[in-house]
Amino acid sequence: MNVKSKSNEELLEIYLDHLLARNKSQRTIKTFRSIIKQFIAYLKGRHISEATVWDIDGFLAWLRKRGYKEGSIYTAAVAVKRFMQYLGLEENLKGFEYPKRPADLPRYLEIEEVAALVKAAGNNLRDRLIVLLLYTTGMRVSELVGVKVGDVDLERHSIRIKGKGAKEREVFFHPSLREDIEKLMDSKPKSAYLFQGRNGKKMHYVTVERILKRLARKAGIKRKVSPHILRHSFATHSLMMGMDIREIQELLGHASLKTTQVYAHVSRRRLLKDYLKVWSTTLKEIE
């Protein structure tokens, strides 16, 4: 491809088609589109083939001045670099270094907070199952909305899902959820989505996010509740309750154990919190 013969906007659309063809999530594509459009605007009419490491650094500094957090700046660096690499502009990237990635531990909900979400869902079968399946399977929201009736095995209490890179894996649900799942399936054909949006189409991930925000408000939970936090809660609680970290890795669909090991840090932090709680009370009685 002759990069210089096409406009920045045309190159962006070609790259987004590439991401779509590689089965990248809607969220990733939306995020990359927004970031790269901002970078193109930052170049002020110059062609992307003229962009240098100085331009990328200047763009990241511009984002920082506008109040972007560390995680968002890191994501922006990834998006711009991968875009330029796809266009074959490696020479322009010489000397580029990623900004420091934040080492924040995953946030998770307490079991009582998950229970409050389920209670807030009341008799709404769909909303109740959205909470319970995200929490008890560790699925990503993109995986949840992609589940079809034919992917559910009621006898094995399992669901076949497609994760990142179209890799298939199997997750499990507790037998107590079987009856509710059967009701949601409700004689739908195997090709139908389990969670449907308008006209029987796949429910949009944004709809799931809105449902969780509404349930959190109703439950009186002040902090942010999202599908990914429920995924973190699944991993954290599984580890705390004695599951092997490699089993958790498989259920989460992590390619590397290193990604899963962050939950060990969360578990140790919780262990310290519980230790201090118990021993603070005990020492008060001794003193």
Burial of 230 (0-12, 13-18, 19+ CB in 10 A): buried
13 Cβ contact partners less than 8 Å away, ≥ 6 residues apart: none
Q: What is the pLDDT of residue 105?
A: 63
**Cβ atoms < 10 Å from Cβ of 37:** 13
Average confidence (pLDDT) over 80-108: 87
pLDDT above 80 for 267: no
pLDDT above 90 for 264: no
* Residue 25's pLDDT band (cuts 50, 70, 90): confident
Q: What is the pLDDT of residue 282?
A: 65
85 Cβ contact partners less than 8 Å away, ≥ 6 residues apart: 93
Closest CA to 205 of 22, 14, 29: 29
Among 52-56, 65-69, 261-265, the least confident range: 261-265
Question: Residue 162: what are its φ and ψ, rounded to 5°?
Answer: -105, 120
Residues facing 113 on adjacent strands: none
pLDDT above 90 for 63: yes
Torsion angle of alpha carbons 254, 258, 264, 269, nearest 10°?
A: -120
Q: Are 104 and 69 in contact (CB under 8 A)?
A: no
Q: Are 232 and 152 in contact (CB under 8 A)?
A: no
pLDDT above 80 for 191: yes
Q: Catalytic positions, please?
A: 140, 164, 228, 231, 254, 263
- Type and span of the H or E element at 42: helix 26-42
- pLDDT above 70 covers a percentage of the chain that reads 93
Q: What is the pLDDT of residue 125?
A: 95
Residues 157-184 pLDDT 10s: 999 998 776 788 999 999 999 999 999 9
Q: What is the pTM of this model?
A: 0.66
